[in-house]
Structure 1
Amino acid sequence: MNGPENIGRVVDEVYQEALKITEGDLASYIPELAVVDPELFGLSICDVEGNRINRGNTRHPFTIQSVSKVLSHICVLACQDDDTIAKRVGVEPTGEDFDSIIKLDRHRRPFNPMVNAGAIAVTDLLMSAHGDGALEKTLQLYARMLGCARVEIDETVFLSELRTGERNRAIAHLLNNFKLLDHPVEEVLQLYFKHCSVQVTTETLAHLGAVLARRGRAPTQDQALVEPDCVRKVMSVMLSCGMYNYAGQWIYEVGLPAKSGVSGCLLIVVPGRMGIGIYSPRVDVRGSSLRGVHAGRLLSERLGLHLLAG
């Protein structure tokens, strides 16, 4: 990691400044997320050489939620051709909330894989590719990308989402109405909710970011986990769509591929350099961690990480 002492000092400063933020709310529309400790805060960096910096609650497990969309997008790019995927989901930003159905109803195809409609369509494509083994196959790739021997599903969160996820049911039924699903709605949603309920830490998220930063290769390893072209496609969509209707401001201020999740997690990739994983469960109205967004902004500014900074 270039200038590890300087980076460590900056991370300490950023962590302490972001820690002061107490605004935001827990994502109460998923009941199990409403009972977590709002003061939890972890920040992890893993560079492409495997060097790590960790501050705070970096080993506390939480559910990956919408950051799973990055991994599911990687999975579908590995098993379906571009034309098949493009018939079901595009790559354009929506400018709308992550669970909006306004443009879906008008255009009859999800705009991108980072919003709920697009991720549900991707989930259906994964079922078509892998059949009854879709969960096992996808979780194997999840584990490799996260640097784990295996990943676990938080069954309590999964059942909570399955029981209360009526908005996602509405989206899935609308997709089904447009002939964009080949499998029963409830079966597709079960797999989608299980992906969202995978347990991670900021350390495993940072490892995922480092794999993406290294164009599909894990730190210190030569074997490719995914093809570089797949990484390019995924990071392009993360950059333009990963922060939902905050994406434009995020690119303007931070300028890095990123993906947020309503559990309060945030994945940031610095291509060629490092992955950053952040967790703090108080989120804004867009479903992004307030501490996480603030920390990402400060890290980009103070370490000169913006892709267009020259």
Structure 2
Amino acid sequence: MNETLKRILENCRRYTLNGHVADYIPELAKANREEIGIFVATAEGDYCAGDWDKPFTIQSIVKPIFLMLAAIDNGIDFVKDHVGVEATGKPFNAIDYAEPLLLKEHINPMVNIGAIAVCGLVKASSNEERFRRLLDFTKKITGNPLLEIDKEVYESEKKTGNKNRALAYLLKNSGMIYGSVEELLDVYFAMCSVKVTCKDLANMGLLLANRGVDLCGERIIPREDAVFLNAVLTTSGMYDGSGEFATTVGIPAKSGVGGGIMADCPGRMGIGIYSPGLDKKGNSVAGIKMLEKLSEELELSIF
């Protein structure tokens, strides 16, 4: 498997130059788009190639984590009643939601506005406790107790996150979040700024591939929640490129503008990808190419 990953990575390395690094968050603009890494986690062992141990910020790949913990706290039906699951067909940070009264039917947990709403469903007596619970849960599902936020990225996101502020106030106006908008956004920005590696993402993917059970046999999330989450990732996890990704790769996945992709093949493996050169939809160009090749060679598609 290691040789397969190395070959696929080298064959896809040229695609790193086809993308652009995210620049609307100034700190992300400093990424080296030539970096590329992959990590595969299975019950039989781990396999890797390239810059798999390069830290980068999790960004939107935190959205499934919000959904997991909110579902544990409230039940999946409550979350579904609060935020819809239909693919929006819009960019991940779209703000043109013209019918506020129908807002929950127009958003899902994998776009910014839905993720902010779901973040607010995580139970806590304060936003400090909400952040601590989310970070501790992220450490648990990645198997990495040393996770921490990138303070420079966090400050950069907080300073430039006015579109997310607009989305949050739209939610507040529609009665979909409660309490202080700024304090909730502080949690959101901090969690998007958690530093991870491909291995962390692969371990997260393996948990979903195992229907919520970790390698020690401990059930972390209910089976029905894992099945639900994989369905949402399949329809909405790759922003407004999810349909194309489903036809070419065919597995549940979530991307982030930091260049990461977390994917899982149910019953088989978790996959973590890093390559910060993005396409116009915010997905890693070389990352998608690697997943296409890997899916083809190992017949990973669930369809």
Q: Decide which of 220, 223, 228 is 2:223's aligned counterpart.
A: 228
Match of 2:148 among 152, 155, 167: 152
Letter in 2 for 1:290: V
SS at match of 1:240: helix
- CA deviation map 1:220-263 (0-9, x unaligned): x1111222111111111101110111111111111100000000
Can you give the 5+ residue segments of structure 2 that lack an aligned partner in the other structure?
none
Is contact 1:48-1:214 (8 Å) kept? no
Relative to 1, partners in 2 of residues 1:85 and 1:10: Cα closer, same or farther, differing over 3 Å?
same
Amino acid at match of 2:280: V
Distance 1:108 1:224 in 2: 34
Q: 2:19 aligns with which of 21, 24, 45?
A: 24
- Contact 1:48–1:272, Cα closer than 8 Å, also in 2: no
The answer to whether 1:58 aligns with 2:52 is yes
Give 1:12's aligned residue.
6
Query: 1: CA distance between counterparts of 2:19 and 2:217?
Result: 42
| 2:148 is the alignment partner of 1:141 | no
Give the superposition deviation at 1:151. 1.8
Distance 2:99 2:135 in 1: 31
Q: Partner of 1:81 in structure 2? A: 75
| Structure 1 runs not aligned, ≥5 long | 1-6
State the alpha-carbon separation in 2 of the partners of residues 293 and 124 from structure 1.
31
Query: 2:191 & 2:222 partners in 1: Cα distance?
Result: 22
SS at match of 1:210: helix
Tell me if the contact between 2:76 and 2:225 (Cα under 8 Å) persists in the aligned partners.
Answer: no
Instruction: Please tell me whether residue 265 in structure 1 is matched to residue 294 in structure 2.
Output: no
What is the match of residue 255 of structure 1?
Answer: 250
Q: Which residue of 2 aligns with 1:217?
A: 213
Match of 1:187 in 2: 183
Q: 115-124 vs 33-42, which deviates more?
A: 33-42
Q: Is the 8 A contact 1:48 1:213 kept in 2?
A: no
2:296 aligns with: 301
Q: How far apart, CA to CA, are the structure 1 residues paired with 2:284 and 2:274? A: 7
What TM-score, normalized by structure 1, do the two folds share?
A: 0.93
Deviations 1:100-143 (A, max 9, x none): 122464632252100000000011111xx112211111111110
Residue identity in the other structure for 1:213: A
Report the CA distance between 1:10 and its aligned residue. Answer: 2.6
Deviations 1:270-305, CA, capped at 9 Å, x for gaps: 000001100011101111110101111111111111
Aligned with residue 269 of structure 2, among 265, 274, 289: 274
> In the aligned structure 1, how far is the partner of 2:156 from the partner of 2:14?
31
Residue type of the partner of 1:245? D
1:174 aligns with 2:170: yes
**TM-score, length-scaled by structure 2:** 0.95
SS in 2 for 1:108: helix
Contact 1:66–1:259 (CA under 8 A) maintained in structure 2: yes
Q: Is the CA contact (8 Å cut-off) linking 1:48 and 1:211 kept in structure 2?
A: no
Q: Which residue of 2 aligns with 1:4?
A: none
Q: What is the RMSD of the two structures over their aligned residues, measured on CA atoms? A: 1.3
Helix, strand or coil at the partner of 1:55: strand
1:231 is paired with a residue whose SS is helix
> Aligned partners of 1:16 and 1:83: how far apart in 2?
44
- In 1: Cα distance, 2:146 partner to 2:179 partner: 27
Q: Which residue of 2 aligns with 1:163?
A: 159
C-alpha distance in structure 2 between counterparts of 1:74 and 1:276, whole Å: 18
Of 139-148 and 95-104, more deviation after overlay is shown by 95-104
Residue pair 1:124, 1:183 contacting (<8 A) in 2 also:
no
Q: CA deviation at 1:83?
A: 4.1
